[in-house]
Structure 1
């Protein structure tokens, strides 16, 4: 039932309110009362635009009016957008609206006094207003009947959802119900005057709730603390928690025993877990090292992600659509399940065609939602999840094959994705008691090059495609620096990362030898030319042998620079890599086709 004061306050303006009598057997849709004050919004618009809207058949469903300088005015409705006349917006039209609304604050928003309408401005580089978005504000009484039982529990509520789904409308109605029906002391932190309207007198849609305005958006967290310290509220209502300071202020308020009702940027709880700024609202995340026995009991690695603290909000509501909400009655339980790569089983509350609330269980998400894209368990994935496995990636016919046919190489590569790697690691003792072979996960390094080094030098290394099987990660330093997710996954699994400076044979060789603990000699030994050849033809072998002899017989013993014979770019690149093996510098000079290599002493 609507509170008598709220009904009385809304009764006089019959032109702007759609009010239905309350009967005991009415459905939810029949009990809703919508107040929009559309006449006050139309009053600020130029006459020609106002006349087009007043004659439109969907006038009562208007969402917003868009006015951009030099463009046709546009009215937006739930299912369509229409132009309002054929005259572009002029500076006089914009000024006509600006003169009839309140002051534009630091967030470029203004309002119409004692209404819920929002006027947002677009400015040019000099600060002049060149566009307006006139958003229709509505108070919908009865819209939170789906979660009325949760509001009455006294627990903190967090509303999530995309823009325009109705979060602020629901927040306004929750504040009214708590203040009028449950007789609680409610204080609204109204940063942009969107909850209780513009002006010093709040809109009657919030009932007996009190409203505190915020001078500028960056001061919202200070006003939140001030409300608790000065006005002794039982409930604090906050719209759009978006910064770390606001999240910390919300936790401080919750720990003082005050009920919180707020909204946050994010569509689902998983979005908050991935957001380091707001993850504290649902408890926060920290890495925890388990004992051997506990890790075996859980069937996970020793380092896992755990919830850091109790959630600031005990109940979370994901507003997928205006009349389709997902309810997590125990946020701490939901977060714990997500951190273990499980599938929570929340309530799904909808309104059917008869206006009745239906409660069911939300179907599980597919694929399962794991935190930050990786699992907290050691379960191996037998099938890939990439483009090739999804069927969206079609093979390209290689050179030498007929168009439209798949080569034997591509066929074998496709099949290899469906062959799970063995979960058992075969180990043999090394010369100093090490466990060989070493399982390496390469990232950003040419697989053919690393396989070439392993084969020619006969290194006890096995390449793996599964990070959970790896003993060590070998990656380009630039990729490690710019890929925080790789660093985090390796840290969770306690796998060391070895950086390779460049994707060259000498750098890869040194990194692999360092992993195996092979002491590098102070003077590089004679290079194996097979490491640096691509095709292995006579010209390549001759050029590499020339470079090797020049280094070993002139540059190193005599300390003199040497110029080699002119070679093609491909061959010169191999010579550069060979010189790098000896830790010497080389340079190409001259013009093609006489461009050649010059090797410098150390």
Structure 2
């Protein structure tokens, strides 16, 4: 993998622990991995100690009293140990039918907690078209919300003024790792509690992260990223400390940029409200304090509407005042 820099590797019939470990190592290098494994269903892999590492590995965990009561179950439970090697799993039912699990990590977690699991049945018709229909692993109806979910996870109902803010604050940054240990990135994201999502497709990503070794060779994959306008971040080493610095840097920059855009939108909306107040007969409407860049945008917006505006006060309380005609 290091020497030949492949973009896709296909493995047939993973059947041993050594092969499963090799598959995880390849996937963590950022290489697209396609493989088959012994077992008819996802449940078979979960119960197979040799191959369970492909779906994250299974470990026995003893819960505390509070967590056990929250889950309304036993204190000793099975949990997924790590991110799965494969994000998508396909069960072959027959020649023309497959069952697709599009999020292996989420599916495994639900299975271990005995929650209903949704998947997608895809069938090839005699006309050559593919049909898709949802499938549940039990006779239960699709749940709108699990009864074991804690009250703290109930979605909040923000007020009208808070909706835009909540959407802005929770917008994740999507990172595509290439040649970087995916498991380490996932662990760093979890430890730092950052709003980051790891993706597998270039078109879904906000940026690409790779190592100095991969970037120096200028692979076609990285050239495609640059052609698509995706920022490429290069780590000197594939270490946890380097990954942690990278995650801290990009999330801060992402939040700062989102904050700037949000402040611009709010400031210009405030100008529009002030203009409507001028139409109602008010002669001077002071706006909230802003930095010089946003104040300049507010002046331009007022000027376009034929109104005069001035800046008053001293930083950090300097603000724009809209004057009526």
Same-fold call, TM cutoff 0.5: no
TM range (shorter): 0.3 to 0.5
**Higher RCO, Cα 8 Å, sep 6+:** 2
Rg larger for = 1
Instruction: Give the TM-score of the pair, scaled to structure 2.
Output: 0.42
Instruction: Give the TM-score of the pair, scaled to structure 1.
Output: 0.23
Q: 1 or 2, which has the higher helix percentage?
A: 2
